[in-house]
Structure 1
Amino acid sequence: MTVLGLRGRQWMVVALVVGCCYLVTSGIALTGAWTTLNRDPTNAELQRAANAEVARRWEAWPASRVFPGQLSYSMDDEHSEYAERTGIVPDGGCEQGVDSELATTLRKHGCKAVLRATYVDQLQGIVTTVGVLVFPDPWQADKAYKELPDSHGPDGTGTVRPALRAAAFPGTAAARFTDAARQDRTSDRGGPYVVLTTSGQSDGRPAAAITKERPGEPFAMAPQIGHAIARSLSVRALPDCSKSEWRC
């Protein structure tokens, strides 16, 4: 046997060994990938998927799910009443949905959007605009929430400001509700969302015309429906990787 033939066989053996190594490596990689794709998600992965789904709701859900047509509230401990939605404002930027003083705070904490809808109480005497403020994460939402002004009622000092801007809808009981008619404001938070409300009377009377507080809690509806919307948006659901709305 010649030296050249020996070397050829040696190179063939080397090639076979290298090829076998590649096959084994590929098999291990494919087995690992199959195992990864077919294993159950870890608890940490489920938590991340749940958080991501909550953060997408303001875009993924239809507006009528973010702002239901009816929301229950109670003026006392004896019975429930229902607030009716009169309209939904098209998606808007953070600066369009609130007074300029609030816009500065929202901008500082990365506000992404403000969604608004207006409701009237069962007797159609009280109007409340609800605003969902969207932030990048719960931590930024919490920081913004802590910098918001306290709730404010009609005490003769004039219109409530700074606050969520009123949203009137022609042809409804909320047709006369303007910024000048705002008499009350509330705030709530859930997940990456801050929910604000601003309320007034359906006859459109300016808040500056209110010289003393009205008896009872005329705007008790507002914090209740605001809380209901905040809770709906922020309650984390059990991830279901078989559905398209989840990214597991």
Structure 2
Amino acid sequence: MSPAAGGRPIVSLGEPEVHDERRRFGGRGGARVVAVAACLVLGLGLVGGAVTGSWLVGDSEAAGARDSFVAARSLWHSVPVDRLFPTRVAGQGAGPGGADRSWTRIAVAPDSGCRDAFDPLLRKALAPVGCQRLLRATYTDATRTYVTTVGLLFTKADATAMASLAKRFTDEELDRRTDLMPRPYGPGFANDERATWTVSVLTDAPVVVYSVSGWADGRTVDEPQSAAEAMESGATTAPAQAGLGHEAKGLADRIERALRKQVGPYATEQAS
């Protein structure tokens, strides 16, 4: 460091093997140092900005998911029944071999608890997530040959509990056990008439979606079969041959889509 005019010090840098303290930043070596330093500062700024941006995006996505999860919990009393259970449901490609299906709503249950909606073992399996409210509706197909009850169980659970239950249903194949069937709703659709069913535990909403199908003529079924099994290639049971697995799965999927369609706008409304 050497004094300059006016008494202000000037810092000087030396190149390797050179010990001339009078060299200034204006020299060739000093220019390279300045350029390297500038690049380093710019690089750190870009990296830091990218990292910060990724954190912000991650936080935003996580916050959005949390908002949607919380919003879904209130849909049972904030969304009209016709939006959750439309009077008519189109099932393009939902039938065997990709055939189209359509369903018409014939009954809607009052919102209720879960006490009488499930067989005892299914009620026990669902107990860890609790029961806040249960909505149910029953549909028939275009030919009025089949009836299907579809339900939306709004739980009391958080996202972790829902993920845990979903994993258990998948790992233990609980949705294929005949002793874990949901019960039907509506006149003319009794427990011994259940032919196929499906149960889906959502992980992005505190909701369990299920359905159960049977024949509309009231015939009893000795060997019910899960929708997943009835839809397998080569299945020869009566429910499978009738396409009842597709009835249960196809309608449950469309009602689940109707539910998801309501979550986004409602979450935005609640956040604003």
Identity %: 26
Q: Is the 8 A contact 1:189 1:230 kept in 2?
A: no
Deviation at 1:49, TM superposition (A): 3.2
Deviations 1:176-233 (A, max 9, x none): 21111001111223321111111110111111288x7122523312111111222332
Question: Which structure has the highest helix share of the two?
Answer: 2
* Residue matched to 1:84: 104
Aligned to 2:161: 140
Q: Distance in 2 between matches of 1:138 and 1:72?
A: 30
Distance 2:265 2:107 in 1: 31
Tell me the equivalent position of 1:98: 118
Q: Residue 62 in 1 paired to residue 80 in 2?
A: yes
1:52 shift after superposition = 2.4
Spell out, residue by residue over 1:12-47, the C-alpha distance to the aligned partner (whole angstroms, 9 max, x if none).
xxxxxxxxxxxxxxxxxxxxxxxxxxxxxx836554
What TM-score does the superposition give when structure 2 sets the normalisation length?
A: 0.61
> Does the CA-based 8 Å contact 1:187-1:195 persist in structure 2?
yes
Number of residue equivalences: 190
Specify the alignment match of 2:186 in structure 1. Answer: 168
Residue 150 of structure 1 aligns with which residue?
A: 175
Unaligned stretches of 5+ residues in structure 2: 1-58, 225-235
Please show how residues 116-131 of structure 1 align to structure 2 within 5 Å.
Answer: 116-131=136-151
Assess if the C-alpha contact under 8 Å between 1:165 and 1:179 holds in 2: yes
Q: Per chain length, whose mean CA-contact separation is higher, i.e. which structure has more relative contact order (CA < 8 Å, sep 6+)?
A: 1
CA 1:179/1:239 → structure 2, altered by over 3 Å: closer, same or farther? closer
Aligned mates of 2:88, 2:196 — CA distance in 1? 21
CA-CA distance at 1:109 after TM superposition: 2.2
- The partner residue of 2:208 within 178, 187, 194 is 194
Does the residue aligned with 2:180 lie in a helix, a strand or coil? coil
Secondary structure at the aligned position of 1:96 is classed as: coil
Cα distance, 1:240–1:142 mapped onto 2, change above 3 Å: closer
CA distance in 2, matches of 1:221, 1:80: 11
Separation in 2, partners of 1:217, 1:48: 38
3-state secondary structure, aligned to 1:95: coil
Classify the secondary structure of the residue corresponding to 1:94: coil
Structure 1 residue 69: Cα displacement: 0.9
1:240 positional shift: 7.6
CA deviation map 1:131-180 (0-9, x unaligned): 1111233332333344452336xxxxxxx5332111124xxxxxx21111
Q: Look up the match of 1:231.
A: 257
**In structure 2, C-alpha distance between the alignment counterparts of 1:97 and 1:177, rounded to whole Å:** 13
Match of 2:196 in 1: 184
Q: Find the aligned partners of 1:209 and 1:134 in 2 and give their Cα distance.
A: 29
Equivalent residues in 2 for 1:5-20, closer than 5 Å: none
Output the TM-score relative to the length of structure 1.
0.66
Residue deviations 1:70-119, cap 9 Å, x none? 11223245652211111111111122211121112222222222211111
What CA distance in whole angstroms lies between the structure 1 residues aligned with 2:218 and 2:84? 26
Higher Cα radius of gyration: 2
Partner of 1:213: 237
Pairwise CA distance, 1:48: 3.8
> Which deviates more from structure 2 when the two are superposed, residues 118-127 or residues 223-232?
223-232
The CA RMSD over aligned residues, in Å, is 2.7
Residue type of the partner of 1:142?
A
**Counterpart AA for 1:220:** H
